[in-house]
Amino acid sequence: MCDTCGCNITHGNENFIKPGGKLHKTESGKEAVTVLHSLLNENDHTAKHNKDHFDQHQVLAINLMSSPGAGKTALLEATIQQLDKDIKIAVIEGDLETENDAERIRQHGVEAIQISTGSACHLDAHMIHQALHNLDLSKFDIVFIENVGNLVCPASFDLGQHLDVTLLSVPEGDDKPAKYPVMFRKSDLVVISKSDLLPILDDFKPERAKGYLQDIASTAPILELSSKNKQGMPEWIDWINQQISKRKQYLQQHPVTAGNHSHTHEHHHG
């Protein structure tokens, strides 16, 4: 996005709209309208709305992404056990089918909303908005959104989250950041999960994964973690606590006013 006026002219597309560029001329009798809006305008609008919801209630929203079976739910279960009990957690689960993951979370006494996406391969901002209608955000400090297991599609849809965490499990191989640069590039933290398997699957080299992350100019911290033997859990918990305080500090300096959060519809929370 352009720094001067906030429009979407970038080095990549300015050639097309400059005088003499491909998009500048049109046949007579026709009208060319230069738009330069994101194709995901509607989604982004709802995502902003979701973020306003979170901010109004000072709730930190973290989007967890990974391929299927990388250990997102296991990480959440371990997190529920280890996070300070004063920090109130809610979880939004996204899967194509079943309530299995939400059931696992509820067994720990934590409120969980299951979104069944049917055949959709990702969560979008509208689905999160629907879920938020069933969640009383005033009761929580943090909401984890467990996205559909998929390293491709979820990367394109903003949900209104504050932070993206991507899990890369040891059995998947250390070159996943090179294969799926779009998702890993947008991550605020990369967790190398199932680290207890490193001694067995010794062809996974954490250093190599870090090298691939540098190749995509990622400055995200990297955490080796095992939800099973709890290696890396203290660092993960510290990171979450830091992010909660950072968000609270930010909101003290940039308070959300009612005007920031307008509605065209009625909400029925709770």
| Distance, CA of 110 to chain centre | 20
Cα dihedral sign, 100-105-109-110? negative
Sites for another protein among residues 194-233 (CB under 8 A): 212, 214-217, 219
Least distance in Å: CB of 146 to another protein?
A: 18
Q: CB-wise, 125 or 240, nearer to another protein?
A: 125
Looking at beta carbons only, is 77 or 164 nearer to another protein? 164
Q: Per DSSP, what are the bridge partners of residue 168?
A: 192
Burial of 199 (0-12, 13-18, 19+ CB in 10 A): exposed
Nearest distance from C-beta of residue 19 to another protein, angstroms: 11
Q: One-letter amino acid identity for 152?
A: V
Tell me how far apart the alpha carbons of residues 255 and 250 are, in angstroms, rounded to a whole number: 8
111: alpha, beta or left? (left if phi > 0; alpha if psi -120 to 50): beta
| H or E element that contains 59 | none
Residue 14 and residue 114: Cα distance in Å, rounded?
43
By the rule CB under 8 A, 268 interacts with another protein: no
Kindly report the number of other CB atoms within 10 A of residue 201's CB atom.
14
Shortest Cβ 46–another protein spacing (Å): 11
26 binds another protein (CB under 8 A): yes
Binder among 3, 11, 109, 253 for another protein (CB under 8 A): 11
Q: Does 43 bind another protein (CB under 8 A)?
A: yes
CA angle 210, 188, 140 (to 5 degrees): 140
Near another protein in 63-102, by CB under 8 A? none
Q: Which residues contact 148 (CB under 8 A, 6 or more apart)?
A: 94, 95, 96, 117, 120, 121, 122, 123, 154
DSSP 255: P
**Positions in 112-131 near another protein (CB under 8 A):** 120-122, 124
Residue type, 269: H
How many CB atoms are located within 10 Å of the residue 47 CB? 21
Residue from 3, 4, 20, 30 binding another protein (CB under 8 A): 30
Quick note: the x/- pattern for another protein over 148-187, rule CB under 8 A, is ----xx-xxx-------------------xxx-xxx-x--
Candidate ranges 26-34, 57-65, 98-106, 192-200; the one touching another protein (CB under 8 A): 26-34
* Size of site (CB under 8 A) for another protein: 53
- Choosing from 3, 22, 253, 262, the residue that interacts with another protein (CB under 8 A) is 22
Site string for another protein, 237-266 (x = CB under 8 A): ------------------------------
Residues that bind another protein (CB under 8 A): 5, 7-13, 16-17, 22-26, 28-43, 120-122, 124, 152-153, 155-157, 177-179, 181-183, 185, 212, 214-217, 219
